[in-house]
Amino acid sequence: MKLLDAIKIAIFSLRINKTRSFLAMLGIIIGIASVIIMVSIGNGAKNLIVRQIVSFGSNNIFIEPGPWSKRMERGQLLQSALEESKIKTLTLKDAEAIEKLPSVEMVAPFVVGVDRVIYKDTNKKITFMGSTPSAGEIMGVEVVRGRNMTEQEIKAMARVAVLGYKTAADLFGEEDPIGKTIRIKKTNLRVIGVLEKGGMQMFMNLDEIVYVPVTTAQKVLLGIDYIRWIIAKAKNEEAVNEAIRDIRLLLRERHGIYNPEENLSKDDFKVISQEETAEMLGAVTGVLTAFLSVVAAISLVVGGIGIMNVMLVSVTERTREVGLRKAVGAQKRDILCQFLLESITLTILGGAGGILLGIVGSFLGGIAIGYFLNLEWDFVLPSIGILTAFGVSTVIGLIFGIYPAHKASQLNPIDALRYE
């Protein structure tokens, strides 16, 4: 029997039982669509991370408490971050010493807290951040109304605040906020400035933050004597590696750490460049994408089992047909080829439907994520993933169709003709 004739017979057979054929393909459709959507969203997340980091400045260096650990290299950043929140090894004096290094242009120390800000009858939950005047320049946002905090206010633990753009709008509306008094943690703060729109940077919405002097945040609002992290800006991109080396040597000296072998796990701090940050965050999304893709791929196996069951039922229903074909000269390989083609046709059609659904789902998913999280999300179509999914669907049809096809080819023509 010619291949083209076998394909026509396979398609005709599937069309006779449309509902059963569709239900058999459904597992393949859902499985392939899920894999494509997961890979697409994972790639979109990686692009978002790179864009966020690039927008933050390629010559910025992050100094955080706690030693470097293997968990960070494996992408377990959440666990590391939770542990670091209890470490108190970085101080304001460390930041001041780093700023004096010749390879460093400026430094901004940070502490952070979450509470409610109150103005008259308006009550809003916000993140307040303690830092210095250089924080705005490092993060690339400027004061558009009023003024920034000063070094004198840092030293004096002044009760002043600079508002993010959206925070100012939510609290004051059309009212001029400059000179007004807000309250955080039962502490009155005088508003001295409002920042321009900064949007999302490093997964923080700069427009919804209240900025106060770092000393005020430490001593008055939080009651601590350490800082959460430091951002240092190198003189230029070429000086980043030199600055990282200088910062490590300086902090080891200040913290009394003897580490001539440069074993980062012996330090009580870590110095991370933008490139290393991108790699670690990329590892997180990569692991998550791989895990979700594996979970989604399980439905492909379930779909394959469904196709095998449908083909076994088809063999039973068409026993007399198989007997008749053999009686008029059909060989075992012809019967085997016919049922294999039917199985592969089911998975190819299911694969095509899954690819189409995956593309649409990825596009709509990207729009939804961007809208609800207020992010600029890229629609990334994973071409390799699509080709792989199509190949996998064909292989599944072949694997799960072999047993029913073999069973049909082994039927005795006389017994088959007698089958009721």
Give the DSSP letter string of 255-314. HT---TT--GGGSSEEEEEHHHHHHHHHHHHHHHHHHHHHHHHHHHHHHHHHHHHHHHHH
On whether residue 299 sits in a domain, the answer given is yes
User: Do 300 and 226 sit in the same domain of this protein?
Assistant: no
Averaged pLDDT for residues 399-408: 74
Structural domain containing residue 206 = 104-237
Q: How far apart are CA 213 and CA 182, in angstroms?
A: 15
Please state, in angstroms and rounded to a whole number, the distance separating the CA atoms of residues 350 and 358.
12
Domain contains 269:
no
Q: Is 100 helix (H, G, I), strand (E, B) or coil?
A: coil
Mean pLDDT of the chain: 80
Q: Is 263 inside a domain boundary? A: no
Please tell me the predicted confidence (pLDDT) of residue 179.
93
Q: Note whether 307 and 397 are same-domain residues.
A: yes
Residue 77 domain flag? no
Does some domain include residue 40? yes
The confidence score (pLDDT) of residue 403 equals 74
Q: Helix, strand, or coil here: 55?
A: helix
- Among the three residues 203, 237, 271, which one is the final residue of a domain in this structure? 237
Q: 225 and 119 in one domain?
A: yes
Positive or negative torsion for Cα 223, 229, 234, 239? positive
For residue 308, the number of C-alpha atoms closer than 13 Å in the C-beta half-sphere is: 16
User: What's this model's pTM, rounded to 2 decimal places?
Assistant: 0.62
Q: Is the pLDDT of residue 75 over 50?
A: no
pLDDT-derived band at 33 (thresholds 50, 70, 90) equals: confident
Between 407 and 212, residue with greater pLDDT: 212
pLDDT tens figures, 313-351: 777 766 677 677 767 777 777 777 777 777 788 888 888
Lowest mean pLDDT, pick from 35-44, 65-74, 185-194: 65-74
Residue 78, pLDDT > 50, answer no
Cα–Cα dist 78/56, whole Å? 21
Across 295-304, 328-337, 391-400, least confident range: 295-304
The pLDDT value recorded for residue 74 is: 46
pLDDT tops 90 at residue 397: no
DSSP for residue 196: P
Q: What is the mean pLDDT of residues 195-221?
A: 85
Q: Determine the Cα–Cα distance for residues 130 and 115; give it in Å rounded to an integer.
A: 13
Position 262 scores a pLDDT of 84
Paired strand residues for 195:
143
Q: Is 100 exposed, middle or buried (0-12, 13-18, 19+ CB in 10 A)?
A: exposed
pLDDT of residue 148: 93
Residue 130 lies in a domain: yes
Tell me the backbone φ, ψ of residue 89, rounded to 5 degrees. -85, -15
Residues 214 and 138 in one domain: yes
Statement to judge: residues 127 and 217 lie in one domain: yes
**Tell me, what's the pLDDT at 58?**
66
Q: 17 and 143 share a domain? A: no
Confidence of residue 155 (pLDDT cuts 50, 70, 90): very high
Bridging pattern class, strands 229-234 and 60-65: antiparallel
How large is the average pLDDT for residues 36-62?
74
Q: Coil, strand or helix: which one is 197?
A: coil
φ/ψ (deg, to 5) at 199:
70, -160
Task: Give me the mean pLDDT over the 380-409 stretch.
Answer: 74
pLDDT tens-digit profile of 116-131?
A: 999 988 889 999 999 9
Least confident of 101-115, 206-220, 263-277, 296-310: 296-310
Type of residue numbered 29: I
Q: How many CA atoms lie within 13 A of 339 on its CB side?
A: 34
In a domain, 307, yes or no: yes
Domain count, the chain: 2
**Nearest CA to 218 among 132, 134, 150, 137?**
132
pLDDT digit string, tens, across residues 350-382: 888 888 888 898 888 888 887 776 667 777 777
Does residue 172 sit within a domain?
yes
* Pair 296, 371 in one domain: yes
Residue scoring higher pLDDT (341 or 101): 101
Token pair of 186 as six digits:
């039962």
User: Are 46 and 109 members of one domain?
Assistant: no
Encode 318-354: b = buried (16+ Cβ within 10 Å), e = exposed. Answer: bbebbbebbeeebeeeebbbbbbbbbbbbbbbbbbbb
Tell me, yes or no, whether 284 and 233 share the same domain.
Answer: no
How much is the pLDDT for 94? 94
* H-helix or E-strand spanning residue 125: strand 122-131
The span from the CA of 346 to the CA of 306, in Å, is 11
Considering the domain architecture, whether residues 120 and 225 belong to the same structural domain is answered as yes
Residues 188 and 300 in one domain: no
pLDDT of residue 282: 60
Contact 304/28 with Cβ under 8 angstroms?
A: yes
Burial class (CB in 10 A: 0-12, 13-18, 19+), 35: buried
Tens digits of residue pLDDT in 246-285? 999 999 999 999 888 888 888 888 988 766 666 656 666 6
Is 81 in contact with 192 (CB distance < 8 Å)? no
Residue 79 has pLDDT above 70, yes or no: no
Give residue 107's pLDDT band: very low, low, confident or very high (50, 70, 90): very high
**Does 217 share its domain with 305?**
no
Nearest C-alpha neighbor of 95 from the set 86, 104, 84: 104
Distance CA 276, CA 223 (A): 32
Question: What's the rounded Cα separation, in Å, for the pair 244 and 104?
Answer: 9
Of 215-219, 220-224, 370-374, give the lowest mean pLDDT range: 370-374
Quick one: pLDDT at residue 44? 79
Look at 156 and 81; give whichever has higher pLDDT: 156
Task: Please tell me the distance from the alpha carbon of residue 408 to that of residue 412, in angstroms, as a whole number.
Answer: 9
Please name every residue paired with 104 in a beta bridge, in sequence order, or none if there are none.
234
How far is 397 from 338, CA to CA, in rounded Å?
13
Amino acid at 43: N
